[in-house]
């Protein structure tokens, strides 16, 4: 089913994708390939491994494509590990703040590397992990992060994530790697400063290790990211530790600006001089990061800053949560009930966080392939809601 991205109006309504159901997460395959090609270049030129973090990008329908470009995957739970194993055909790197004894046997059958958050956890599972041939590592807390939002900062005082140098001492027998994850949509210059801290605190341990996982948060595919600086930084670091395999595990960078969430205007109401357009999606249930980070999502054809004299709208979700809204946006023409609203960059950290709060239905999932054809992968209904309760 062929689609066009050009805007046209029919019966006054603004329509972008008439054949795509609403609401629907839509991945644009050409954009994903562009990201993957850039990540593959970094991998090759820097001599490192880049693996896909499922917590940020778990669009498993595209895992066979991802596997052609990246070295593997990283998982944060039994279910993510199984998904990577079954749909990408790789044994993922696994990290969780704590592992369940009841899940260990199955989890360890999928994992190639496992990072432990504490020495307690390592000692509890050490013998079984090593017997299974799993490469074991420890998560470290370098106590340095340039993250503005505390919810996403793993180095705040009292953080439960990772081991501080003062609490580590010598490495336990059997540990082959260290894992540091302190970035959040940061650039290579933040990584450079972070690496300096890791070297200062943990540098004596690095020559004895096989791998160093520098986690996610590397927004390599953002337009202003200095890719050449990253490559040079990693090559220089590797030259000091030639036996150390360097691993990056971005999720956002894989799915960054690779698709949208199609929605529809259900109603337009006036409230105290504010015009509110109510959509068939929910910011709280379908785009939670817009409220948690928070950030203002881009809307196709709209100015994200209100302009005097132009039709301006606040967009509301369809749950009863009072704070389920975002705004304000200005348009060249007044919106009508039935118009499509295209919320851009809605593939990473969206589908993985959706809920059915209020019983609202989940958006469908599909893609526009390289030939411009739309393919619907999945739609949801009552059973998806009931199964979560």
Mean pLDDT of 284-302: 94
- Binned at pLDDT 50, 70 and 90, residue 1 comes out as very low
Encoded tokens for 247: 């691993």
Tens digit of each residue's pLDDT (9 = 90 or more) over 35-88: 999 999 999 999 999 999 999 999 999 999 999 999 999 999 999 999 999 999
Encoded tokens for 335: 């919106």
Mean pLDDT of 257-266: 98
Examine the pLDDT at 2 and tell me if it is beyond 60.
no
Rounded CA-CA distance 98/76 in Å is: 10
Give the pLDDT of residue 153.
95
Examine the pLDDT at 182 and tell me if it is beyond 60.
yes
Q: What are residue 193's phi and psi, to 5 degrees? A: -70, -35
- Tokens 């009841």 sit on residue: 102
* CB-based contacts of 6, cutoff 8 Å, min separation 6: 16
Q: Are the C-beta atoms of residues 175 and 138 closer than 8 Å to each other?
A: yes
Higher pLDDT, 169 or 100: 100
Q: In terms of DSSP bridges, do strands 13-15 and 8-10 run parallel, antiparallel, or are they unpaired? A: antiparallel
Give the pLDDT of residue 6.
56
Question: Beta partners for 299?
Answer: 343
Rounded CA-CA distance 170/208 in Å is: 11
Mean pLDDT of 143-170: 94
Higher pLDDT, 3 or 319: 319
Rounded CA-CA distance 346/118 in Å is: 34
Give the pLDDT of residue 13.
78
Give the pLDDT of residue 327.
87
How many H helices and E strands in the chain?
11, 18
Rounded CA-CA distance 192/363 in Å is: 39
Tens digit of each residue's pLDDT (9 = 90 or more) over 161-177: 999 999 998 999 999 99
Tens digit of each residue's pLDDT (9 = 90 or more) over 324-374: 999 899 999 999 999 999 999 999 999 999 999 999 999 999 999 999 999
Please, is 352 exposed, middle or buried when counting C-beta atoms within 10 Å of its C-beta (0-12, 13-18, 19+)? middle
Lowest mean pLDDT among 1-10, 26-35, 195-204, 219-228: 1-10
Average pLDDT, the chain: 95
Rounded CA-CA distance 120/142 in Å is: 19
Rounded CA-CA distance 247/63 in Å is: 19
**For the chain, where are the alpha helices, taking DSSP H only?**
29-46, 63-67, 78-83, 104-110, 119-131, 188-202, 227-240, 252-255, 283-286, 289-292, 382-387
Mean pLDDT of 118-139: 98
Question: From the centroid of its chain, how far is CA 81?
Answer: 16
Mean pLDDT of 200-209: 97
What DSSP assignment string belongs to 220-265? TTSTT--HHHHHHHHHHHHHHSTTPEEEE--SHHHHTTSEEEEEEE
Question: To the nearest 10°, the Cα dihedral for 146, 150, 151, 152?
Answer: 0
């Amino acid at each position: 089913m062929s689609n066009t991205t050009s805007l046209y109006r029919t019966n006054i309504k603004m329509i972008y994708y008439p054949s795509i159901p609403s609401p629907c997460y839509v991945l644009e395959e050409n954009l994903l390939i562009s990201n993957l090609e850039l990540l593959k270049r970094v991998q090759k030129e820097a001599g490192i491994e880049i693996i896909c973090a499922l917590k940020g990008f778990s669009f498993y329908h595209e895992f066979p494509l991802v596997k052609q470009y990246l070295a593997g995957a990283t998982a944060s739970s039994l279910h993510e590990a199984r998904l990577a194993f079954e749909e990408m055909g790789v044994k993922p790197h696994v990290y969780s703040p704590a592992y369940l004894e009841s899940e260990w046997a199955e989890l360890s059958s999928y994992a190639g590397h496992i990072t432990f958050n504490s020495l307690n956890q390592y000692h509890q599972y050490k013998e079984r992990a090593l017997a299974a041939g799993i490469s074991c590592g420890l998560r470290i807390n370098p106590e340095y992060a340039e993250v503005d939002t505390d919810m996403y900062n793993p180095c705040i005082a009292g953080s439960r994530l990772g081991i501080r140098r003062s609490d580590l001492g010598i490495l336990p027998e059997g540990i082959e790697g260290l894992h540091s994850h302190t970035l959040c949509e940061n650039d290579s210059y933040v990584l450079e400063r972070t690496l300096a801290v890791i070297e200062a605190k943990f540098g004596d341990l690095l020559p004895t290790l096989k791998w160093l996982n520098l986690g996610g948060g590397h927004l390599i595919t953002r337009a202003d990211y200095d890719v050449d600086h990253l490559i040079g930084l990693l090559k220089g670091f590797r030259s000091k530790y030639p036996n150390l395999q360097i691993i990056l595990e971005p999720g956002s960078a894989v799915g960054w600006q690779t698709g949208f969430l199609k929605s529809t205007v259900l109603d337009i109401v006036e409230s105290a001089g504010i015009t509110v357009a109510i959509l068939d999606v929910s910011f709280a249930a379908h785009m939670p990061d817009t409220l948690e980070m928070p950030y203002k999502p881009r809307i196709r054809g709209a100015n994200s800053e209100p302009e005097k004299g132009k039709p301006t709208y606040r967009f509301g979700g369809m749950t009863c949560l009072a704070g389920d809204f975002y705004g304000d946006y200005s348009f060249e023409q007044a919106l009508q009930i039935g118009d499509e609203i295209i919320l851009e960059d809605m593939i990473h950290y969206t589908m993985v966080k959706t809920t059915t709060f209020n019983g609202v239905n989940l958006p469908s999932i599909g893609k526009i392939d390289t030939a411009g054809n739309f393919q619907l992968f999945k739609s949801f209904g009552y059973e998806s809601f009931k199964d979560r309760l």
